């Protein structure tokens, strides 16, 4: 079973439900492309039961569906699937019912500052793999499915096509829809820009000076406001070689009705994005810095490191920073945070205070010492904590932090 394609098909079953609830749906697949020795029906059922539980606990906000695949040379892969939501957390009674339905056992969670957080785990009755659950005090929920299965490598990531800086324009009237797609395109070498309507993108086209790059790819998300017909104003203004794709929640094969507007089921699979990249034509051209919005690629995105030992807090903070335009790396301990900053210094570190081992204050002092000796460049460190004790603000100032954020 091609896991990336099967996982995408599962996501397509979920996206319509998320959209019908008014939730923004985000999807990502990270890691090599693999063929796994597993029952595709069982895998899909295992993910769907977690997604259905998550949808039952969310009234508004974002739903994230992600898979992280780690390959080893022994013919096994570790797969970590996350179904997570951000927004105001539902009431405890609904969480109780969801945990009972999934057969998960709740565990004490006594980390300082974690009052109201909930943690549970148990086996998946479909695959036998481990299922975990975490919820913070008020902002998010996280279901995880972790399994190790035999697999063979389908495609080496180093052999994937590269867009070489070609421009992809993403059009959506729903803020946040494209945050995960932006990162996926940038991994394939695309420079991306976003627009709230086809009319805004058309106006931007008219403002480009001769010699400035036009988009090689335009993707619009179908909605009541944006339709395939609405993208025709862009089709008429661009060469036929420019790919214009309407992402739809309907399950249907690749369609081109003759208008030059292709239709693809949303979310796009890794194979979809690879094919779009392979079809890129022409010289991407110069980006002169004279256009707005600015085109972003992976190298140009500001970097942030989020440090927190709570998986839900880590997810929520990372998601918000990604929406703000950051490329985010995460660390669950102070030691890991220091290693992340040394390996690739960020522009921002969002630091939890209470952690096992090196806490946030100690980690900050260590990072500031590395900056003073010239090992690290200057960057901002901001505390993020659920504490209600004002004295911690003074402790953060003393450690060298630049700011202090208190969550609900």
- In this predicted structure, the answer to whether residue 272 has a pLDDT above a threshold of 60 is yes
pLDDT at 105: 95
- Nearest residue to 129 (alpha-carbon basis) of 69, 57, 56, 42: 42
E strand map for 257-397: 262-265, 303-307, 327-331, 348-351, 380-385
Dist. CA 290–CA 285, nearest whole Å:
13
Going by DSSP bridges, is the β-strand pair 24-30/62-71 parallel, antiparallel, or unpaired? parallel
Torsion of CA 170, 174, 179, 184, to 10 degrees: -40
pLDDT at 325: 66
CB 353 within 8 A of CB 381: no
- In this predicted structure, the answer to whether residue 313 has a pLDDT above a threshold of 80 is no
pLDDT at 289: 37
- Where are the chain's structural domains? 3-155, 160-278, 303-406
Kindly indicate whether the domain formed by 3-155 is annotated with CATH number 3.30.565.10. yes
- Output the average pLDDT for the chain: 84
pLDDT at 251: 53
pLDDT at 7: 95
Per residue in 34-45, pLDDT tens?
999 889 899 999
Going by DSSP bridges, is the β-strand pair 167-171/217-221 parallel, antiparallel, or unpaired? parallel
- In this predicted structure, the answer to whether residue 102 has a pLDDT above a threshold of 90 is yes
E strand map for 52-96: 62-71, 76-86
Per residue in 282-312, pLDDT tens?
444 444 333 344 455 545 568 899 999 887 7
Could you count the other beta carbons within 10 Å of the beta carbon of residue 357?
12
Could you count the other beta carbons within 10 Å of the beta carbon of residue 93?
8
Q: What is the mean pLDDT of residues 214-221?
A: 94
Confidence of residue 362 (pLDDT cuts 50, 70, 90): very high
Are 3-155 and 160-278 in the same CATH fold? no
Q: Is the dihedral of CA 211, 216, 222, 228 positive or negative?
A: positive
Comparing 69-78, 188-197, 232-241, 332-341, the range with the smallest average pLDDT is 69-78
Per residue in 65-85, pLDDT tens?
989 898 877 889 999 999 988
Per residue in 218-269, pLDDT tens?
999 988 888 888 899 999 999 888 999 999 876 555 555 567 899 999 999 9
- Nearest residue to 353 (alpha-carbon basis) of 279, 405, 301, 318: 405
Give every CB contact of residue 264 below 8 A, 6+ residues apart in sequence. 245, 246, 247, 248, 254, 272
- Give CA angle at 177 (175, 182), nearest 5°: 110
Cis peptide before 267 (omega within 30 of 0): yes
pLDDT at 300: 58
pLDDT at 286: 45
pLDDT at 304: 93
- In this predicted structure, the answer to whether residue 387 has a pLDDT above a threshold of 90 is no
pLDDT at 301: 67
**CATH superfamily of this structure's domain 160-278:** Response regulator (3.40.50.2300)
pLDDT at 290: 36
- In this predicted structure, the answer to whether residue 371 has a pLDDT above a threshold of 90 is yes
Distance of CA 255 to the CA centre of its chain: 27
pLDDT at 62: 85
Is pLDDT larger for residue 301 or for residue 350? 350
**CATH superfamily of this structure's domain 303-406:** Response regulator (3.40.50.2300)
CB 132 within 8 A of CB 144: yes
Q: Is the dihedral of CA 123, 125, 129, 132 positive or negative?
A: negative
Q: What is the mean pLDDT of residues 324-335?
A: 84
- In this predicted structure, the answer to whether residue 335 has a pLDDT above a threshold of 80 is yes
Share of the chain above pLDDT 90, in %: 46
pLDDT at 52: 95
- In this predicted structure, the answer to whether residue 392 has a pLDDT above a threshold of 80 is no
Q: What's 229's DSSP letter?
A: G
Confidence of residue 391 (pLDDT cuts 50, 70, 90): low
Helical H runs in 57-126? 92-102
Comparing 7-21, 52-66, 271-285, the range with the smallest average pLDDT is 271-285
């Amino acid at each position: 079973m091609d896991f990336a394609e099967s996982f995408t098909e599962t996501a397509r079953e979920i996206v319509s439900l998320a959209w019908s609830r008014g939730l923004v749906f985000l999807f990502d697949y990270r890691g090599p492309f693999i063929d796994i020795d597993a029952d595709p029906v069982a895998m899909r059922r295992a993910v769907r039961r977690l997604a259905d539980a998550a949808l039952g606990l969310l009234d508004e906000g974002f739903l994230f569906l992600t898979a992280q695949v780690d390959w080893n040379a022994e013919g096994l892969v570790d797969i970590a699937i996350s179904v997570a939501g951000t927004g105001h957390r539902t009431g405890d009674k609904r969480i109780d019912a969801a945990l009972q339905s999934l057969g998960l056992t709740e565990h004490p969670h006594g980390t300082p500052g974690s009052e109201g957080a909930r943690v549970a785990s148990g086996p998946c009755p479909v695959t036998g793999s481990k299922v975990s659950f975490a919820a913070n005090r008020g902002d998010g929920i996280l279901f995880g499915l972790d399994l190790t299965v035999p697999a063979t490598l389908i495609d080496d990531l180093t052999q994937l096509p590269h867009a070489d800086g070609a421009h992809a324009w993403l059009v959506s009237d729903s803020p946040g829809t494209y945050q995960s797609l932006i990162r996926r395109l940038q991994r394939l070498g695309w420079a991306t820009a976003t627009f709230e309507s086809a009319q805004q993108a058309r106006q931007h086209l008219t403002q480009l000076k001769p010699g400035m790059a036009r988009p090689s790819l335009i993707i619009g998300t179908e909605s009541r406001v944006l339709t395939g017909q609405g993208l025709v104003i862009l089709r008429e203004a661009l060469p036929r070689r420019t790919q214009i794709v309407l992402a739809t929640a309907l399950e249907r094969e690749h369609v081109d009705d003759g208008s030059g507007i292709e239709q693809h089921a949303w979310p796009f699979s890794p194979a979809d994005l690879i094919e779009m990249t392979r079809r890129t034509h022409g010289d991407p051209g110069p980006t002169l810095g004279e256009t707005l919005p600015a085109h972003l690629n992976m190298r140009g995105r500001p970097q942030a490191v989020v440090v927190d030992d709570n998986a839900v807090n880590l997810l929520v903070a990372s998601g918000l920073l990604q929406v703000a335009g950051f490329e985010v790396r995460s660390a669950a301990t102070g030691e890991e945070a220091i290693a992340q900053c040394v390996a690739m210094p960020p522009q921002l570190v969002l630091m939890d205070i209470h952690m096992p081992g090196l806490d946030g204050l100690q980690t900050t002092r260590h990072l500031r010492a590395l900056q003073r000796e010239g090992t690290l460049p200057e960057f901002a460190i901001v505390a993020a904590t659920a504490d209600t004790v004002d004295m911690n603000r003074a402790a953060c100032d003393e450690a060298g932090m630049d700011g202090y954020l208190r969550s609900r």
